[in-house]
A and B are shown apart, each in its own frame.
Chain A
Amino acid sequence: SAVISQKPSRDICQRGTSLTIQCQVDSQVTMMFWYRQQPGQSLTLIATANQGSEATYESGFVIDKFPISRPNLTFSTLTVSNMSPEDSSIYLCSATGGETGELFFGEGSRLTVL
């Protein structure tokens, strides 16, 4: 199984600012994903981080708001741009691994926007 480290684990930000979340995997992985988890809602996939090319965004998420980098097979970043209180959420990095293609998750980054 892959061990995934995220930072920051939590942050409080002002409206209109941007925050970059880092995700480090302890082994090379093909697929990395970014999820959002809001209270009362199911895990929502933001985008698939592709190594060497642009991320693939899900419906409702755009690159200008959530730019993603994937410079290599073990690292990715998610930026939440021009934040508003509605962006307050837990952001989770994940990667596929194991024999059955299951997802492994980081500890999450809890973001509060004032």
Chain B
Amino acid sequence: EDQVTQSPEALRLQEGESSSLNCSYTVSGLRGLFWYRQDPGKGPEFLFTLYSAGEEKEKERLKATLTKKESFLHITAPKPEDSATYLCAVRFGNNRKLIWGLGTSLAVNP
């Protein structure tokens, strides 16, 4: 079954404490893996697209990596403003639509 699983469900960090969020997928013919950030009461905000194993993208304190089975979103020295829910989605095969994970809720304490 085509599936996207994110872990952990929730993560609480101290400011400056680096960590990683995981997005694992079981699909055939990956055509793109997308990371989004969602703040409470807002729509998801696009962060990165990854296409092939070994690819990496960076933006400020965030770095996304991709393997054949999973993607990691590394957060280096997080700040309280990084607190949000991080969503992962994949597009695969001939499908136009995305399959979404449930997200990881990140809280960064000052």
Contact = CB atoms under 8 A, between A and B. Distances in A.
Nearest to A4: B43
B102 A40 contact: yes
Interface in A43-63: 43, 45, 48, 58
Interface string A43-85: 1010010000000001000000000000000000000000000
A112 B110 CA distance: 34
A92 B45 CA distance: 12
Contact of A41 (B49, B96, B102): B102
Contacts, number: 51
Given A92-B43, A101-B32, A43 B97 contact: no
Interface in A72-106: 92, 94, 98, 100-106
Chain A: interface residue count, which band? 20 to 34
Interface string B68-108: 00000000000000000001010100001111111100000
Given A43-B87, A100-B49, A105 B101 contact: no
Interface of B: 4, 32, 34, 41-46, 49, 87, 89, 91, 96-103
17 contacts: A1-B46, A33-B97, A40-B102, A42-B4, A42-B103, A43-B87, A43-B100, A45-B97, A101-B32, A103-B34, A103-B44, A104-B46, A105-B45, A107-B42, A107-B43, A108-B43, A110-B41
